[in-house]
């Protein structure tokens, strides 16, 4: 059984690793021809293969065989967050949410937003690294910055997709565990450090988004994202 895990979308019986993955296999792990590796395709598949030729720029593998295939997860988490000023906090959030297991992470601008651009390629690389480390089967889609109102207006509640948002209020609303329905798809909005504006909160309520609390403590934006993701996984255990 191989302990070396790589990411390769759409692997074939005689495929190859990307240049970045090849460099890791060749120069970091110092693998050789004949070594067994495991491959994640990011869409539910786990495979085993054997390295044929190895090079820091292009490594070929053969004898691909499927070990596990999951067509669809039991539940899905789609997170939308107003990014903080410090990019490293968003990178940390993406890494940890991906380790727990998440299906997409998007970003939005709002009245109290602190950041107007995102380095999506950097976040995608972090998501791939977290996928390999956690050995989850699904690589999340990283979505670009979009105005909050545009996102809110584009989504409709359904029996299979719950629309939720983290809400700070006094008295507090029900906690996340009491608000969700199990084995569903969850679209979760987490606001900026300054929270949603009153107009944005009213719009969320008008569009039938369900508010939820994460407890008495006021959490940072990135902490609320991770706490929400982890809580949903624990509720499905």
Comparison of pLDDT for 150 and 159, the residue scoring more:
150
Q: How many domains does the chain have?
A: 2
User: pTM above the 0.75 mark?
Assistant: yes
Query: What is the Cα–Cα distance from 40 to 47, expressed in whole angstroms?
Result: 6
Please state the φ and ψ torsions of residue 164, each to the nearest 5 degrees: -135, 155
CA distance 144 to 123: 11
**Same domain for 51 and 85?**
no
Tokens 């992470």 correspond to what residue?
105
Q: Is 5 helix (H, G, I), strand (E, B) or coil?
A: strand
Whether residue 38 is found in the same domain as residue 128: no
Q: What is the CATH number of the domain that holds 38?
A: 2.40.240.20
pLDDT in tens, 22-35: 999 999 999 999 99
d(CA 191, CA 171): 19
For 101-155, how does the pLDDT look when each residue is reduced to its tens digit (9 = 90+)? 999 999 999 998 888 889 999 999 999 999 999 999 999 999 999 999 999 999 8
In this structure, are 190 and 103 located in the same domain?
Answer: yes
Among 69, 103, 123, which residue terminates a domain? 69
The verdict on 127 and 185 lying in the same domain is: yes
């Amino acid at each position: 059984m191989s302990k070396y895990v790589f990411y390769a979308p759409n692997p074939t019986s005689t495929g190859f690793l990307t240049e970045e993955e090849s460099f890791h296999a060749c120069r970091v792990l110092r693998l050789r021809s004949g070594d067994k590796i495991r491959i994640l395709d990011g869409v539910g598949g786990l495979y085993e293969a054997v390295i044929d030729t190895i090079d820091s720029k292009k490594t070929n593998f053969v004898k691909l065989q499927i070990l596990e295939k999951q067509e669809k997860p039991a539940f899905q988490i789609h997170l939308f967050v107003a990014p903080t000023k410090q990019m490293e906090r968003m990178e940390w959030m993406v890494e940890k949410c991906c380790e727990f297991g998440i299906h997409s992470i998007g970003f939005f601008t709002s009245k109290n937003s602190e950041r107007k651009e995102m380095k999506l390629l950097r976040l995608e690389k972090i998501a791939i690294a977290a996928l390999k480390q956690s050995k989850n089967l699904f690589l999340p889609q990283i979505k670009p910055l979009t105005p909050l109102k545009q996102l809110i207006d584009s989504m409709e509640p359904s029996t299979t997709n719950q629309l939720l948002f983290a809400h700070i209020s006094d008295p507090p609303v029900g906690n996340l565990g009491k608000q969700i329905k199990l084995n569903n798809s969850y679209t979760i909005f987490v606001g900026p450090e300054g929270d949603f504006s009153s107009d944005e909160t009213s719009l969320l309520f008008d569009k039938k988004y369900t508010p939820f609390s994460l407890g008495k403590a006021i959490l940072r934006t990135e902490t609320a994202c991770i706490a929400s993701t982890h809580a949903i996984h624990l509720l499905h255990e």
